Amino acid sequence: MNVCVIGTGYVGLVTGVCFSSLGHHVICVDQDHHKVQSLQDGVVPIYEPGLKERLDQNRNEQRLSFTTDMKRGMAQAEVIIIAVGTPANKDGSADLSFIKRVSLDIGHYLTPGVTVVTKSTVPIGTNRKIKQWIAFSCGHQQFSVASCPEFLREGNAIKDTLEMERAVFGVEDAVAETVLRQLHEPIPTTIVVTSIETAEASKYAANAFLATKISFINEVANVCENVGADIEALATIMGLDHRIGPSYLQAGVGYGGSCFPKDTQAFIRVAQQAGYDLQIVPAVEKVNKEQRQRLFNKLKSVYPPSLAGKRVAVLGLAFKPNTDDMRAAPSIDLVEALHHAGATTVGYDPVAQSQAERVLPNLVRTSSWQEAVKSADAVFLLTDWPEFKAINLNELKSLMNEPIVIDGRNLFKPEEMLKYGFYYDSIGRTKVDGRSLSGANVFSKALYTQTGTK
């Protein structure tokens, strides 16, 4: 099929590359000249494992190209995919200005019979508006619209597209369903055909549920700290129940990224506008915000009365591993709080260094974790990159001014940190202070009781 993808960000680029891998002919359109130029030069502007290789292959095989020219992009298209951003407005509602702009532009060049599919996450009712906007600018209704919400996870986006667990087709006519079936034909997946409204709502509901799981386990972790229970063992026990499942039960600093924070907020507004006040989702958001503050307080309590003048290293800046996406990353709030408290911050991330420069101008960025922790009075661990899991604890301790580690991802084991002589606090586990301990029998003096699983 001939496909035009409009918006070449995390979703649009992955979609374009993957659909061309399936044999479709794809033209990706973006208004960002710099981005399009990079892509035409074979430079991928985001970090996503496996994307560059597929992009090169499909470009070489003439199935994939990039342009800023909407008319050119749409000229041969049988299907047009909208993948532009829907960021949050100040009040939390979804900003539909990019969607509206693109819909009006589509109308200018639309050939009758084409299906316009929205992958962007949009409030319920938006695809109906898209139809009106397009019709307004093209002057006819000879086209179909469909909602095909995107469920990919950054860092795993290729697999999530080529082996998607489900494809949701929100359609109002048979033409759109046939086109979407053809487009997804080579992907072995479960297809759910439903109404446009249900498809739109399903994305918000799915993200709100995953965010709920994260905030729930974080609340349980906070209780664990007060009662001496261990969240890691507890989450394993819960996850073994197939009705619950183990995913999204990792206690930590809370969720961030381009989706959960804005989509939970937008869902609250969507429900409000429809006359229903959600109860659970606002609580999920509140817990998530407080979780960042809790982590900060853990460090504050080590240095009473003030963190002024302390040098704090932040390991991990992206909101999760395997991406360079800094949108709503916990590191942003933590670094701001540290500066506000008078501390200086030094940070390192394996791939998000340049993205971090834009959002964390006061953070001194380094090119290795060793450089970041050098002479630090404390380390905050915020992203569970494999590189950090492999840190040599002896080396870490020897580089730091004070061996204090606050682990927002439960990456290290408290008993190990105790053995190496760290003050170590994490999420939902008993904190340990090994600074005055040395020698082989430290465990006899340990504050920590092991509750791990076999």
Ligand X SMILES: NC(=O)c1ccc[n+]([C@@H]2O[C@H](COP(=O)([O-])OP(=O)(O)OC[C@H]3O[C@@H](n4cnc5c(N)ncnc54)[C@H](O)[C@@H]3O)[C@@H](O)[C@H]2O)c1
Give residues in contact with ligand X (CB under 6 A).
6-12, 29-32, 35, 83-86, 98, 101-102, 119-121, 150, 152, 154, 258-259
Q: Residue 169: in which H helix or E strand, if any? A: strand 166-171
Q: How far apart are the C-alpha atoms of 142 and 148, rounded to whole Å?
A: 20
Question: In angstroms, what is the minimal distance from the CB of 14 to ligand X?
Answer: 8
The residue among 31 and 366 lying less far from ligand X, judged by its C-beta, is 31
The residue among 121 and 410 lying less far from ligand X, judged by its C-beta, is 121
Question: In angstroms, what is the minimal distance from the CB of 79 to ligand X?
Answer: 16
Q: How far apart are the C-alpha atoms of 199 and 262, rounded to whole Å?
A: 18
Q: How far apart are the C-alpha atoms of 416 and 425, rounded to whole Å?
A: 12
The strands making up 404-407's β-sheet, listed across from edge to edge, are 364-365, 344-348, 311-315, 378-381, 404-407, 423-425, 432-433
The residue among 121 and 426 lying less far from ligand X, judged by its C-beta, is 121
Question: In angstroms, what is the minimal distance from the CB of 161 to ligand X?
Answer: 10
Q: Give the DSSP letter of residue 442.
A: G
Residue 259 designated active-site: yes
The residue among 38 and 370 lying less far from ligand X, judged by its C-beta, is 38
Whether 269 and 91 have beta carbons less than 8 Å apart is answered as: yes
Whether 107 and 138 have beta carbons less than 8 Å apart is answered as: yes
Question: In angstroms, what is the minimal distance from the CB of 9 to ligand X?
Answer: 2
- In degrees rounded to 5, what are phi and psi of residue 214? -65, -50
Question: In angstroms, what is the minimal distance from the CB of 405 to ligand X?
Answer: 30
The residue among 258 and 291 lying less far from ligand X, judged by its C-beta, is 258
Whether 352 and 326 have beta carbons less than 8 Å apart is answered as: yes
Q: Residue 293: in which H helix or E strand, if any? A: helix 280-300
Q: How far apart are the C-alpha atoms of 153 and 160, rounded to whole Å?
A: 7
Can you list the alpha helix ranges (DSSP code H) found in 228-278? 231-239, 260-273
The residue among 11 and 114 lying less far from ligand X, judged by its C-beta, is 11
Question: In angstroms, what is the minimal distance from the CB of 155 to ligand X?
Answer: 9
Which is catalytic among the residues 4, 18, 148, 259? Answer: 259
Which residue is at the shortest CB distance from ligand X? Answer: 9
Q: Which residues, 6+ apart, have CB-to-CB distance to 300 below 8 Å?
A: 307, 341
| First-last CA distance in the chain | 51
Residues labelled as active-site residues: 259
